[in-house]
Amino acid sequence: MPATGCASPASGKGSPCLLRSSTTWLLVAQRLGIALITLVIVSFAVFFATQLLPGDVAQILLGQAATPEAVAGLRTAMGLDEPAMLRFIHWLTGLATGDLGVSYVNHMEISTLIAGRLANSLELAGVVAALSTPVALCLGILAAMYRGTLLDRAISVATIVVISVPEFMVATLAVLIFAVWLGWFPALSYGVDVDSIGAMLRAYALPVISLSFVVSAQMIRMTRAAMIETINTPYVEMALLKGASRTRMVLVHALPNALGPIANAVALSLSYLVGGVIIVETVFNYPGVAKLMVDAVATRDLPLIQSCAMIFCFSYLSLTTLADMIAILSNPRLRR
């Protein structure tokens, strides 16, 4: 039900009525609740998937030659003889309070292992997002504006190609073109010493370029689709009929109303960063969380894998939840 003072439907987008409507907040709260439940289910899945490991963790840690007493001692010390459900709850509360446990392999605190790496990964993701969002939005809107022209077709074909090939291929192609044939950048990002700003820029360039391609392609496609949907509505056609130019029709009439779906598309595309970052960090040997996790998988360092997986799931979930919330907040039809 609409709140009082909100009766006029003509008040349109951006009115304070949006924030006063209790149904909106109900929907947002509901979406947040779903996200929270999902996070619990996901952590459940991550925890128990890693418990499927055949064999006993204590046995694996101590090796074949260990005496049964030593294994039993370590099991008690690690709390492995508790029921799985209890360990899950311990692990979850530890996670919530920032106590991530200790690595099996080098016995370091996982939080210290992750801390520096996380900053690196966030830096990479942030630069990619800042770089690809404006470019992708412009290209997506242009493609929708000149739908069916050569420009639109070229953009569509290029994005389809980038989406259809694996991320590592985009990355290897970028190395091949920019590092091998053109010789602009070094092929590995951290093999070189980063003492000056120029060297640092060059070291970052290739991971950022590859990741930007992957994310932009998604974003361009979704922006174009959202924009075309708005352009096809009767009121935009009306604007064209009354003599507005194509530019005016798109930028003044259609764009403000497409902002919600476009913001939704941006948040959703950024969630592709999570998958892309795993591959790109491996290709370029970039010291981020994803590289840490892939290395942990190779050494079967379960607590580390669990923590990294939760970081990725959390960022992925927050982005998709953000996308949904933007969709709710920007859609007046959901506000009754």
Which of 11, 15, 23, 38 forms a contact with other proteins (CB under 8 A)? 38
Residue 232 in the binding site for other proteins (CB under 8 A) = no
Contact segment (CB under 8 A) with other proteins among 47-55, 69-77, 237-245, 251-259 equals 47-55
Near other proteins in 190-219, by CB under 8 A: 218
Q: What is the 3-state secondary structure (H, E, C) of 6-46?
A: CCCHHHCCCCCHHHHCHHHHHHHHHHHHHHHHHHHHHHHHH
Contact segment (CB under 8 A) with other proteins among 122-130, 131-139, 239-247, 301-309 equals 301-309
How crowded is residue 319: how many other Cβ atoms within 10 Å of its Cβ?
A: 19
Backbone angles phi, psi at 104, to 5 degrees: -70, -30
Distance in Å, CB of 31 to other proteins, minimum: 12
Q: Are 283 and 170 in contact (CB under 8 A)?
A: no
Backbone angles phi, psi at 195, to 5 degrees: -95, -30
Residue 251 in the binding site for other proteins (CB under 8 A) = no
Of 165 and 252, CB closest to other proteins: 165
Residue 172 in the binding site for other proteins (CB under 8 A) = yes
Which of 26, 29, 37, 252 forms a contact with other proteins (CB under 8 A)? 37
Which of 17, 27, 46, 258 forms a contact with other proteins (CB under 8 A)? 46
Handedness of CA 197, 199, 202, 203 (dihedral sign): negative
Residue 331 in the binding site for other proteins (CB under 8 A) = no
Distance from the Cα of residue 210 to its chain's centroid: 15
Backbone angles phi, psi at 140, to 5 degrees: -65, -45
Residue holding tokens 């996982």?
110
Residue 221 in the binding site for other proteins (CB under 8 A) = yes
Residue 182 in the binding site for other proteins (CB under 8 A) = no
Residue 298 in the binding site for other proteins (CB under 8 A) = yes
Handedness of CA 287, 292, 297, 299 (dihedral sign): positive
Q: Which of 220, 312, 212, 229 is nearest to 266 (CA)?
A: 220
Which of 7, 84, 89, 176 forms a contact with other proteins (CB under 8 A)? 176
Of 64 and 164, CB closest to other proteins: 164
The site string for other proteins over 93-112 (x = CB under 8 A, - otherwise) reads --------------------
Residue 165 in the binding site for other proteins (CB under 8 A) = yes
Distance in Å, CB of 239 to other proteins, minimum: 23
Of 145 and 214, CB closest to other proteins: 214
Of 3 and 294, CB closest to other proteins: 294
Of 35 and 72, CB closest to other proteins: 35
Residue 334 in the binding site for other proteins (CB under 8 A) = no
Q: Cα–Cα distance between 113 and 229 in angstroms, integer? A: 46
Residue 60 in the binding site for other proteins (CB under 8 A) = no
Q: Are 284 and 189 in contact (CB under 8 A)?
A: yes
Tokens representing 237 are 């056609």
Which of 120, 132, 140, 167 forms a contact with other proteins (CB under 8 A)? 167
Residues contacting 317, CB < 8 A, separation 6+: 35, 38, 39, 42
